[in-house]
Structure 1
């Protein structure tokens, strides 16, 4: 069960889904997901990322997940990062907080 749902998020996001940039079979693979750019202004993207990150780490609570949302929105300045790069950035940033 996901830790957060749409109503938990504190920031405003774009919730419209646009056309895929690649065929569905390519966009649903794990490799493609991790290598495509992270879009921090899109609600589905942020919600999926936070829930996935939370599942991978033990003892995560809703407050921790909301702190990740804040970091992604306020501290992540580079809009040209892949999901994998954002994950690495977040790992390093959470250790320094």
Structure 2
């Protein structure tokens, strides 16, 4: 069950796939990387790592405002959130 829905997100996102990207693609690269500007990728990531809506909204804020631009790998983003949760 999803902890957060599209309507809950606090920031603006693109909801169409970038050129060469497909929201239905399930290849390894798309599974491993999160494009922080694409709503469906952020939403999927938040729902996969958060247990509550409050956690998801806090994680979204950290991702959109503090996450270093070069950090794109799902595992790296998750670890960065753990390390920076108090920010």
* Band of TM-score, shorter chain: 0.7 to 0.9
1:48-78 Cα offsets, whole Å, 9 max, x none, are: 0000001xxxxx3211210011000001122
CA distance in 2, matches of 1:3, 1:40: 18
Query: Does 2:73 match 1:89?
Result: no
Count of aligned residue pairs for this structure pair: 84
Contact 1:39 / 1:79 at 8 angstroms: preserved in 2? no
- Unaligned 5+ segments in structure 2 are none
Bigger helix fraction: 1
Give the match for residue 10 of structure 1.
10
Cα distance in 1 for partners of 2:41, 2:72 equals 13
| Larger gyration radius, structure 1 or structure 2 | 1
Contact 1:3–1:51 (Cα < 8 Å) also in 2? yes
Equivalent residue, structure 2, for 1:28: 26
TM-score, normalization by structure 2: 0.80
Q: 2:38 matched to which residue of 1? A: 42
Of 39-48 and 78-87, deviating more is: 78-87
Equivalent residues of 2:71, 2:77 under 8 A apart: no
Listed as ranges, the gaps of 5+ residues in structure 1 are: 55-59
